[in-house]
Amino acid sequence: MAITRFAPSPTGYLHIGGLRTSLYSYLWARKTGGEFRLRIEDTDLARNSEEAMKAIIDAFDWVGLNYDGEVFYQSKRTDIYKQYIDKLLESGNAYKCYMSKEELDALRAAQEAAKQTPRYDGTWRPEPGKELPPVPAGVEPVIRIKAPTTGTIEFDDGVKGHMKFDANQVDDYVIARSNGMPTYNFVVAIDDALMGMTDVIRGDDHLSNTPKQIVVYNALGFKVPKFYHVPMINNPEGKKLSKRDGAMDVMDYKRLGYLPEALLNFLVRLGWSNGDQEIFSMKEMLELFDPSNINKSASSYNGEKLLWLNSEYIKAVSNERLIEELKFFDLDLSNYPKKNEILDLAKQRAQTLVELKKSITDIIDIPTSYEESGVKKFIKEDTKELLEKYLLLLESNKNSLDSVEKIEEFTKPFINDNGLKFPQLFQPIRIALTGGTQAPSVYDIIFILGYDEVSTRINEALKRNFQNT
């Protein structure tokens, strides 16, 4: 049974990289019958954003990654952290450091000048037989943890394999600032231990934090969880993902017309696979996912693949679901007489819900203007006479407009009898009915709109002579 978590900082919106690691954590917890927790790491009070915090919760609600229990906020757990800081001080595994910022800056500058890795030099670290400097007046100390000075810090990573760090790569880092506020690596280790985390799945940008956190685990006698450090998502050129490439707020994907199922399907495949399978239901993800099969190399963001997946999901979900989704885009088809027919038609070509809405409104909205290039190309001297003849044909077949097949059945002979090519009739009709030349089949449009609306729109176009005046 795996207990996992996702622990974002509310200093910015939830991006897809974070959503992917939370998805992996969610799948592993659910597959094993464990727990998936959400923890907000909001100890950086100066950078926290209420708006960003709300957006994170909203994103989770939208994609349906339901977490167990309440949301944990680190800012509300400071008393707990201070208890463990005191324990470390009492046991001698942490100590007070009175080195000033100016002294630290000077130390760092000297180390850099000597081409050394900047690190704390242990001035205030207690050692047997060592005399510490006198405590300066009026200086509030920071608290540093005693990191090992020799040997190695090792762990088995579920993605990267056995990891080994020289102890000298981890210095006595600060676990509490001079104002008493605990620092990131310390509180993460405390929370993961107290929350019983068995598996920590996170981006490999956290890999260097892991030995620091293991120092805390070991100092307090906590069990070290299993770590899985997931490689980053790169852009198609193999560089860091930018907003232009897709690294945007998760809720932007909703605003752009993506279905959450499609986004999760896309993300699960960015770093994990099951043969050549591309489309996964949540049920299949839960059955097949194993974090030990996460790819060891970085994945590449493919916007075209996401669009394709989204189009497949739009075609697959129920019309009832699409009706509800389209309300977000200010389109309510609940009372439209042929809602199923128009959705069945429009969703075959739509890659996003935004495109779906446009395809629908192109048909149901009365055109206010006509595509000038289309008018110039397809509206000829005989068009008016031709459309008037076709309207008479429609009127005589009013009772046969209840299927696309019947409309086609009486229209094709009309085209042949008048020595026409299909565009000569269909493009003027399409322009009259929708304003443009790119809408779906004319047969489908006539079927959906019905005789009265078709007649009204064609007569209006003829009255205006297809002019936008």
Q: How far apart are CA 340 and CA 346, in angstroms?
A: 10
Q: How does DSSP assign 209-257, residue by residue?
A: HHHHHHHHHHHHTPPPPEEEEEPPEEPTTSSBP-GGGT-SBHHHHHHTT
Alpha carbons 153 and 163: distance in angstroms, whole number = 8
Pairing type for strands 142-145 and 174-176 reads antiparallel
Residue 351 — φ and ψ, nearest 5°? Answer: -95, -25
Do the annotations mark residue 115 as ligand-binding?
Answer: no
Relative orientation angle of helices 339-346 and 319-327, to the nearest 10 degrees? 90
182: DSSP letter = B
Question: Cα–Cα–Cα angle for 58, 287, 156, nearest 5°?
Answer: 85
- E strands of 101-182, at which residues? 142-145, 152-157, 161-166, 174-176
Contact 1, 198 (CB under 8 A): yes
Read off the tokens for 167: 């102890």
Known binding site for ATP: residues? 243
Residue list for the binding site? 243
